[in-house]
A = this chain, B = another copy of it.
């Protein structure tokens, strides 16, 4: 029914980080390597493979350096990692990843719970990380992801002005990319459109990603609102796994396979082969052995009329 405009869109698979960190089980490294390879084979070209956090805090992600090393061997794969602080950034710089994502909670309460720093202390850390990156003559990009940007389970309201103030401060401190995350699933399409439009005015092309959770079923509706504000890069996790350990009630990132379906149906070319992605999803569900998963496309299947924007580009 759609007349595709065939713009490109980029999906960053974050299940290996945001998904696995919220599970009690640890997925074996060999499974993660298979996940990265199969996601790549399905056409994904950006993967957040892990997080450089102390292994004692998050043993599920202790193999991040090994995953980066493997992911770097895949041609044209953009490899990202999360880093909570300077120490993590040094490991990320050494790893050879393409981008490091620094989470910065606009909620004071969530920031303290998540990284034991105030938002402004995190801004100072951004400046130190930028300095270390430049001193190392590394070309790893620095992105600051503003989390709890639409409200917080701990603090409640997060003023929009505070979100924008922190975004501006992050850019001033040396971040080259900024993004907005609905960490706890509080966002609605109206608020998403308004905040992304305002952030675009502030950050220009440095604003390049949206990160939604499907806690209250609005991840895809919020995605269309961000699209309206010009965003075409989205985080998502296969089978919708994920959440935030310090945000009670948060559950489920945007589901990768459902997001690919929606974007492709709308005429946005993600480059992803949905059938291969659904095969990988089935494997992953098996590997996760009873952990909660999400998503609808796997059950219903593609519409008979489905025509992917990516295939019509090819």
**B-contacting residues of A (Cβ < 8 Å)?**
1-5, 150-153, 156-158, 160, 184-191, 194-195, 214-218, 220-221, 223-225, 249, 251, 255, 258, 261-262, 265-267, 295-297, 300-301, 303-305
Contacting pair B300 A188 (CB below 8 A): no
Q: Which residues of B contact A267 (CB under 8 A)?
A: 190
Q: Which of B1, B189, B300 contacts A262 (CB 8 A)?
A: B189
Contacting pair A190 B266 (CB below 8 A): yes
How far is B307's CA from A151's CA once the two chains are assembled, in angstroms?
A: 12
Contacting pair B296 A188 (CB below 8 A): no
Of all chain B residues, the one with the shortest Cβ separation from A255 is B217
Chosen A-B contacts, 9 in total, with CB atoms closer than 8 Å, are: A1-B150, A189-B262, A190-B266, A216-B297, A217-B220, A224-B224, A224-B225, A249-B300, A251-B300
- Shortest distance in angstroms between A158's beta carbon and chain B's nearest beta carbon? 8
- Shortest distance in angstroms between A215's beta carbon and chain B's nearest beta carbon? 5
Q: Which residues of B contact A153 (CB under 8 A)?
A: 303-304
Of all chain B residues, the one with the shortest Cβ separation from A149 is B1
How far is B255's CA from A297's CA once the two chains are assembled, in angstroms?
A: 17
